[in-house]
Chain A
Amino acid sequence: MSTYLRAREISQEPVVTLAGEDVARVKDVVFDPMRGSITCFTLSGRGLLAGPLKRALLWKKVHALGPDAVMIRDESSLEEDDEAARERIEAPGGGSVIGARVMTEEGTALGTVNDVIIETSGTPKVIGYEVGPATRTDRTVFLPVIKPKSVSGEMMVVPAATADFTAGDPAGLPAAAEGLRRRLEQEA
């Protein structure tokens, strides 16, 4: 069974131990755009008065990522500080991808990133992006992104053929990605 999660929905999910205690809430979802893998989560506290936590949750310490909670073994799965997460976020090119412009190599703007779609059967993998209306197409589409040329918090550069393989919903992404992969192989 394939399930698709929106990365923005994972933000605010509770982090729950297998003993049933909620120890934090997800703040940021940090992912590696080239591998399509989730790197880590930054965390915030629980409750109305809580602010961000100076702790992080690395992907290798996650027991499972579900639609309703991020499960961890116990509280010791959290890092003592947020050093590891900050290092990745503050490196050149790191930053929030929401609102980043999607641009083809040929310089056509395809829109701006609204959300990141993650597939969670097996190891969660970023399989595409929900992209909001560009000037020409006036609707939200889902773009499969395999091998983006380069990504930063500002912009994502994708192969020109990507524009021909959009999907209307997250479930259409694997097929669109397959089509794009074949096209890229032909072009290569």
Chain B
Amino acid sequence: MLFSTAQGRTVIALSTAERLGTIAACTLAPSPAHISSLHLRTRGRHGHIMLWKNVQSFGEDAVTIRSAEGLKPEKELESTEEAHKSHDPLGKRVLTESGESMGIVEDIDFDEKDGSLRALLTTEGKVPGDRLMGVGSYAVVVQRPE
């Protein structure tokens, strides 16, 4: 599934049948490449983050999680944490590990069942997810194509 189609989807807590917010962004982590967290647009000024492991199901109309307890205010996150927004890949430049630019990340293709990254869609083409080495505040670093 493309992340752009998941953006804006409602997130629902099953325990309280509450609408918690909508999906705004995500963060990626390498080895193996996967979505480490989802960032939600919630009521109020600041967004919340939710680790991928709290996702119960990624449905067609809504994403369900067990309870709202898995949510954490975005501003409480340390920059060293995996879910910090510096690991958001969208709009970032892609660099190979040999220091060559490969365009800008426009979208990501992921498996909605387990959150694994299938591919990065960049302005210069598709990069298989297993090449991901890291996402930092400056760039998304990928292994060099064979």
List residues of chain A with CB under 8 Å of any chain B CB. Answer: 13-14, 16-22, 63-71
Contacts and interface: CB of A to CB of B under 8 A. Distances in A.
Nearest to A69: B99
A70 B96 CA distance: 11
A19 B141 contact: yes
Contacts of B134: 17-20
A65 B96 CA distance: 11
B12 interface: no
B140 interface: yes
A20 B97 contact: no
B136 A67 contact: no
B137 interface: yes
Contacts of B98: 64, 66, 71
Interface of B: 86, 92, 95-101, 133-141
A63 B97 contact: yes
B94 to A, nearest CB: 10
A20 B99 contact: no
Nearest to B100: A66
Contacts of A67: 99-101
A18 B95 CA distance: 9
Given A19-B134, A20-B136, A65 B99 contact: yes
Contact of A68 (B92, B99, B133): B99
